[in-house]
């Protein structure tokens, strides 16, 4: 079959990595890249760095690394920029976050100290538990977004960057109802920015600024940020790829690994009780009921979409799903999650599964940030725009096109991601059809 390769611009020069929020996830990500560049550590958990992709028939024996198959920006060409409400540079912020050990941080201290956050767009109405002084001021939200655009332009010029990509790593903002008329189209949204409408949260202003500058944007938190029609309209008109929401780490990652397995064997589910304790700043922010609501909505959708109770009422019609998060300072970034799962099998006989995941949140999130930056940059160089559903793999609550539904099954998500890469390079898509003996 003739190959139909899509034109992908080469990743020449430097790529600016823009991170609103210089907390546990961002600093762990930046420190990790610095450590990998120096050969101190390996990029474990990153699909772009460790992943392989099978091409052609199994007998062809073609399984290159993803980074050798598709043109991705080299780690040496990443330059970091960030905004935060605290003035601490990346080294100090990483020390405060307490995720990585001092010994590692000392070895990459100069690289980390070089990342100094710009003043943030911040309003305590949207993150009740935080108070910061390193913030911008302007008469309108529109002008605040303009200031972020200026930061981006200066950063690009000063560092001689060819391209940029942004991932929101700021705190989870309070829940905002998505059906507000100001989100319906770009004209209404821009008018609302100029009128300081309370429906416009800081994360939306960063997203707006990114799209206005033609910069791809991903949202690592569960707040709306870019997930509404006005932003989609803007992204499409500017030819910018966007995706979100909420990095899929920890407990939800486990859920999207296990639930498809139960469904594949048609095992029923009566209930799934998930509880977490965590003691980092993210945990403190989520201790506020309004920020927790954003997280809860994002976490709850997962089982419903994977298990399809409407299609399988006998198996999943009565399932009870509960998610709790409790702030517990002694644990710091090392979260503990418990899942108590009540399933049933043949003739309805009940069984139980217990999961106790002692995970490290930011260690799981950092490679996601790296992959999103590199894949969004690839999407930008390929001319892909709007929602990037092939990146659903990375999110708890993937954004999806109107009229569709989100894909939560981790294994379908991975197949979608790899098939998208095969498609871009004009390779045959892999369907796993078992027809070898009929050739
Ligand atoms: N760690 C994970 O596994 C994980 C998983 C899913 C989602 N997330 C989300 O990722 C985000 C980052 O997580 P984290 O653990 O690094 O949290 P964190 O609290 O350590 O860091 C967030 C940083 O954002 C800053 N910030 C808040 N509002 C800001 C604004 N308007 N502009 C600029 N900076 C702002 C805070 O000062 C803080 O330094 C959170 O929203 C979290 O819910 C994290």
Where are the domain boundaries for CATH 3.40.50.720 in the chain?
Answer: 14-247+363-424
CATH topology of domain 14-247+363-424: Rossmann fold (3.40.50)
**Does ligand 1 come within 6 angstroms of the Cβ of 387?**
no
**Does ligand 1 come within 6 angstroms of the Cβ of 325?**
no
CB atoms closer than 10 angstroms to residue 355: 14
**Does ligand 1 come within 6 angstroms of the Cβ of 82?**
no
Q: Which atom of ligand 1 is nearest to the CA of 27?
A: 16
Average pLDDT of the residues in 14-21: 98
pLDDT digits (tens, 9 = 90+) for 118-164: 999 999 999 998 998 999 999 999 999 999 999 999 999 999 999 99
Of 24, 124, 171, the one to substitute when testing ligand 1's pocket (max ligand atoms within 8 A of C-beta) is 171
Q: Which atom of ligand 1 is nearest to the CA of 396?
A: 6
**What confidence tier does 439 reach under pLDDT thresholds 50, 70, 90?**
very low
**What confidence tier does 438 reach under pLDDT thresholds 50, 70, 90?**
low
Residues 74 and 15: their CA atoms lie apart, in Å, by 9
Q: Which CATH class is domain 251-358?
A: alpha beta
**Does ligand 1 come within 6 angstroms of the Cβ of 84?**
yes
Asked if residue 242 lies in contact with residue 216, where contact means CB atoms within 8 angstroms, the answer is: yes
**Does ligand 1 come within 6 angstroms of the Cβ of 333?**
no
**What does the DSSP assignment read for 68-135?**
HHS----GGGEEEEEEESS---HHHHHHHHT-S-HHHHHHTHHHHHT--PEEBP--TTTSTT---S-B
Q: Which residues pair with 16 in a beta bridge?
A: 79, 164
- In the reported structure, the alpha carbon of residue 181 is separated from the centroid of ligand 1 by a whole-number distance in angstroms of 28
- In the reported structure, the alpha carbon of residue 353 is separated from the centroid of ligand 1 by a whole-number distance in angstroms of 31
Of 28, 31, 97, 282, the one to substitute when testing ligand 1's pocket (max ligand atoms within 8 A of C-beta) is 282
- In the reported structure, the alpha carbon of residue 422 is separated from the centroid of ligand 1 by a whole-number distance in angstroms of 33
Asked if residue 379 lies in contact with residue 218, where contact means CB atoms within 8 angstroms, the answer is: no
**Does ligand 1 come within 6 angstroms of the Cβ of 170?**
yes
**Does ligand 1 come within 6 angstroms of the Cβ of 207?**
no
C-alpha dihedral (148, 154, 157, 163), degrees to nearest 10: -10
Per-residue model confidence (pLDDT) at position 299 = 77
Please report, for the chain, how many H helices and E strands are present, in that order. 16, 11
pLDDT digits (tens, 9 = 90+) for 327-385: 999 988 888 999 999 999 999 999 999 999 999 999 999 999 999 999 999 999 999 99
**Does ligand 1 come within 6 angstroms of the Cβ of 121?**
yes
Q: Which atom of ligand 1 is nearest to the CA of 83?
A: 33
Where are the domain boundaries for CATH 3.30.360.10 in the chain?
Answer: 251-358
Ligand 1, atom 21, lies closest to the CA of 23
Average pLDDT of the residues in 165-181: 95
Residue 47 has pLDDT above 50, yes or no: yes
Of 22, 137, 169, the one to substitute when testing ligand 1's pocket (max ligand atoms within 8 A of C-beta) is 169
């Amino acid at each position: 079959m003739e190959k139909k390769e899509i034109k992908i611009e080469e990743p020449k020069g430097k790529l600016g990595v823009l991170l609103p929020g210089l907390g546990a996830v961002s600093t762990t990500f930046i420190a990790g890249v610095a450590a990998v560049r120096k050969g101190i550590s390996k990029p474990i958990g990153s699909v772009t760095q460790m992943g392989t992709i099978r091409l052609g028939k199994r007998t062809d024996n073609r399984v290159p690394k993803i980074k050798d198959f598709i043109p991705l920006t080299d780690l040496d060409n990443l330059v970091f920029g960030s905004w935060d409400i605290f003035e601490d540079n990346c080294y100090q912020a990483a020390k405060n976050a307490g995720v990585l050990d001092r010994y590692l941080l000392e070895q990459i201290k100069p690289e980390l100290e070089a990342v100094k956050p710009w003043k943030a767009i911040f309003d305590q109405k949207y993150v009740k538990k935080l108070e910061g002084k390193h913030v911008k001021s302007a008469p309108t939200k529109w002008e605040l977004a303009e200031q972020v655009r200026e930061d981006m332009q200066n950063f690009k010029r000063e560092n001689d960057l060819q391209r940029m990509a942004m991932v929101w790593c700021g705190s989870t903002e309070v829940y905002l109802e998505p059906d507000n008329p100001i989100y319906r189209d770009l004209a209404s949204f821009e008018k609302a920015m100029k009128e300081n409408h309370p429906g416009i949260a800081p994360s939306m202003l960063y997203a707006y600024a990114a799209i206005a500058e033609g910069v791809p944007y991903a949202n690592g938190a569960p707040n709306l940020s870019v997930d509404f029609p006005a932003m989609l309209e803007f992204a499409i008109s500017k030819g910018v790829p966007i995706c979100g929401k909420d990095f899929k780490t920890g407990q939800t990652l486990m859920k999207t690994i296990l639930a498809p397995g139960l469904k594949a064997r048609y095992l029923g589910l009566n209930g799934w009780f998930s509880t977490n304790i965590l003691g980092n700043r993210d945990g403190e922010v989520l201790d506020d009921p309004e920020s927790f609501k954003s997280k809860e909505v994002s976490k709850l959708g997962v089982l419903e979409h994977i298990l399809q109770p409407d299609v399988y009422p006998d198996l999943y019609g009565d399932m009870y799903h509960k998610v709790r998060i409790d702030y517990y300072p002694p644990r710091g970034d090392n979260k503990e999650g418990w899942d108590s799962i009540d399933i049933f099998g043949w003739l309805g006989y009940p069984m139980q599964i217990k999961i106790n995941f002692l995970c490290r949140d930011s260690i799981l999130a950092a490679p996601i940030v790296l992959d999103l930056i590199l894949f969004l940059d690839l999407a930008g160089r390929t001319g892909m725009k709007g929602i990037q559903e092939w990146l659903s793999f990375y999110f708890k609550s993937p954004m999806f096109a109107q009229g569709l539904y989100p894909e939560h099954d981790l294994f379908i998500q991975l197949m979608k991601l790899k098939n998208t890469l095969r498609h871009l390079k004009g390779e045959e898509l892999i369907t796993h059809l078992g027809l070898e003996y009929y050739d």
